[in-house]
Amino acid sequence: MASSRASSVLFVCLGNICRSPMAEAVFRGVVEGSPFAGEIQCDSAGTAGHHVGERPHASTLRVLRERGLVSAHRARQVTRDDFSRFDLLVAMDQANLADLRAIAPGNARATLALFRSFDLEAPAGAEVPDPWGHPIGAFHEVYMLCERAARGLLRSITSSR
Ligand code: 4NP
């Protein structure tokens, strides 16, 4: 598991329209409902640039809305600056993690981790599967995985404070 001292987190997937904006909104909701509200910053980005400027996928927005959450995010691509701007970069799947490792500057400050590594009930190496092109049920599944991992991530970050 990654550093527990992070105060800024960047969630990363491929397109930044399905999983990582969902993870960002879910984690923000968990933080804001905790005693650590206002103490942890978060954002999301994609390893690819195909959807830059777009709002999250309609199914991501729908699932968030059903849970009382919103996202004003516009898709953006990960930059090398993100490795110094954020304490922790959290990848949704192994391919995202490998892509981040491939572009990480030598002096990167950020720690890299898989999101589900913070869910203590998830098997080692578990991923948040890509729901792109799948029906709404896949997005509900992503939400459930994000919620468990987000709670674990907040516990990890705050346990040493
Ligand atoms: P995401 O899903 O990485 O969770 O945002 C995807 C969105 C778009 C594409 C792939 C995955 N795409 O190939 O355009």
**Closest CA to ligand 1's atom 14:** 15
Considering 43, 82, 93, 130, which one is annotated as catalytic?
130
Over residues 36-59, mean pLDDT: 98
Separation of CA 19 and ligand 1 centre (Å): 8
Residues in the chain: 161
Q: Which amino acid is at 12?
A: V
Angle at alpha carbon of residue 4, lines to 37 and 32, rounded to 5°: 15
146 is catalytic: no
Question: Candidates 130, 134, 145: which one to mutate for ligand 1, based on the most atoms within 8 Å of Cβ?
Answer: 130
Provide the 3-class DSSP secondary structure of residue 50: coil
The DSSP code for 29 is H
Average pLDDT over residues 1-21: 85
130 is catalytic: yes
19 lines ligand 1 (CB under 6 A): yes
Q: Is the CB of 71 under 6 A from ligand 1?
A: no
What is 102-149 written as a DSSP string?
HH--TT---EEEEGGGG-TTSPTT------TTS-HHHHHHHHHHHHHH
The mean pLDDT of the chain is: 95
**Measuring CA to CA, which residue among 120, 116, 124 is closest to residue 144?**
116
pLDDT in tens, 76-125: 999 999 999 999 999 999 999 999 999 999 989 999 999 999 999 999 99
**Two tokens, residue 8:** 């800024």
- Angle, helix 136-158 to helix 58-66, in steps of 10 degrees: 60
**pLDDT band, very low/low/confident/very high, at 5 (cuts 50, 70, 90):** low
With CA atoms as reference, report the closest residue to 57 among 75, 42, 69, 44.
75
Question: What's the pTM value of the predicted model, to 2 decimals?
Answer: 0.96
For range 40-67, the mean pLDDT: 98
What pLDDT shows up at residue 6?
72
Ligand 1 atom nearest to 16, measured from its CA: 5
pLDDT above 70: residue 2: no
- Residue ID of nearest Cα to ligand 1 atom 10: 15
Query: What distance in Å separates the CA atoms of residue 101 and residue 49, rounded to the nearest whole number?
Result: 17
- What would the mean pLDDT of 13-28 be, rounded to a whole number? 98
- Is the pLDDT assigned to residue 4 strictly greater than 80? no
- Tell me the CA–centroid distance for residue 154 and ligand 1, in Å: 26
Q: Which residues pair with 43 in a beta bridge?
A: 10
| 1 pLDDT higher than 60 | no
